[in-house]
Amino acid sequence: MADNCILDIAAIDDIDMMRELWASLPGLGLGPGDDKAAITGFIMRNPHTCLVLRNNGKIIGTVLGGFDGRRGYVYHLAVKQDYQRNGYATLLLENVVQALKNEGAGKIHLLVFRDNSAAQSFYSACGWHLREDINIFSLL
């Protein structure tokens, strides 16, 4: 990790920079649940499981962990383009998994768009496995 890169709990004041980072990257599928109020609510409900990586005052990585009392969910794992392939997402993922386990999550899930091959390669490299036995149903 770069000397001045710090892993930290996400704060409400970080949300503008987090959203800027998400908007700069393909693959995240941003929607109505990503406006400032929604992310504020998410962080307030999950104060120990939303993480950022800071470098010289800028946010270069994020991950949102959510625990619903039964399962853990990982959202918006993202690393700024120039910083990718340095192990930062691995670091964020390992730490959010630990934070979710600390909350009591036994199983942890995440969603990846089928055309996001970079993220799929990443999660496979991290030891996560693709479920072939489940379809997702959404109420829009």
Ligand X SMILES: CC(C)(COP(=O)(O)OP(=O)(O)OC[C@H]1O[C@@H](n2cnc3c(N)ncnc32)[C@H](O)[C@@H]1OP(=O)(O)O)[C@@H](O)C(=O)NCCC(=O)NCCS
Q: Which is nearer to ligand X, 23 or 118 (CB)?
A: 118
For the chain, the three-class secondary structure string (H helix, E strand, C coil) is CCCCEEEEECCHHHHHHHHHHHHCCCCCCCCHHHCHHHHHHHHHHCCCCEEEEEECCEEEEEEEEEECCCCEEEEEEEECHHHCCCCHHHHHHHHHHHHHHHHCCCCEEECCCCCCHHHHHHHHHCCCCCCCCCCCCCCC
Q: Kindly state the smallest distance separating residue 47's Cβ from ligand X, in Å.
A: 22
Binding site for ligand X (CB under 6 A): 25, 27-28, 77-79, 84-90, 112, 116, 118-119, 121-122, 125
The residue among 16 and 94 lying less far from ligand X, judged by its C-beta, is: 94
| Distance in Å, CB of 110 to ligand X, minimum | 6
Of the two residues 94 and 104, which places its CB atom closer to ligand X in the complex? Answer: 94
Q: How far is the CB of 98 from ligand X (least distance, A)?
A: 16
The distance of closest approach from Cβ of residue 68 to ligand X in the complex, given in angstroms and rounded to an integer, is: 18
Smaller CB separation from ligand X, 11 or 113: 113
